[in-house]
Amino acid sequence: MILSESTQRPVVRIGPNELSFATEEALKTIHNPGPDSGHFTKQGTIESLLAKLIWAAPNLLTTTDKTAHKRLRTALQPAFTAKALMEQEDIVQHHVNRAVESLGAELTDKTAVSISDHVGKMIWSIVGDLSFGEPLLHDQMSTASRITGFPVHELTDGYRHV
C-alpha cells in the first residue's frame, strides 16, 4: 500500500466518525488524561457496548463508573508492583519456554507453521496459572482425550482464540 500525503499527517480521518492521531501529544492527551480531566470515556461507544455484551460483570475494561473503576484498579494494583511482577517471571518464562519447545517440535525444514495456536495456548496457560495457580483446562484436554477416547479438545477449539 502506498501512503498518500494525507495519511502522513498527524491527524487523518479514517471513517465518517473516526480520526487517527499520530502524535505523542495526542497519545498522552487521549490515553493519559489524568484523574481530573474526565474526558474521552468509553461510555456510549461501540467498544463499551461490545464489552458489556462479552463481559456481563463490571471490570476495568467495561466500567464507566469512576468509583467502580478506582475500586477495581486498587484491588488489582498489588499484582502489578515491581516485586509481584518479578515473582511472576518464572511462571511466565515456564509457559514461554513450553510454547517455544512446542513450536520447535512442529517445525521442519519444509513446513510452514501457524504460531497462533501456540501463542493462544501460551497466553491462556499464563492467565490461568497467574489467576488460579494452574494452567486453564486446555492443557488437560489432550490427556482426557487419550484416556477416554473422547475428543474433548474438539469441543473447545473455537474458544481458544477468544
User: Can you list the positions of beta strands (E) in the chain?
Assistant: 11-15, 18-21
Amino acid 43: pLDDT: 73
What is the rounded distance in angstroms from the CA atom of residue 145 to the CA atom of residue 152? 6
Can you give the pLDDT at residue 2? 45
pLDDT in tens, 57-101: 878 877 878 888 899 999 999 988 999 999 999 999 999 999 999
- Per DSSP, 114 falls in state -
Residue 127's identity, in one-letter code, is V
Residue 4 pLDDT more than 70?
no
C-alpha cell read off for 30: 487521549
Q: How far apart are CA 131 and CA 156, in angstroms?
A: 20
CA-to-CA dists, residue 71 to 26, 40, 68, angstroms:
27, 20, 5
Q: State the average pLDDT over residues 34-50.
A: 70
Tell me which of 22-36, 40-54, 63-77, 135-149 is least confident.
135-149
Q: Could you tell me the three cell numbers for 79? A: 499484582
pLDDT score for 152: 45
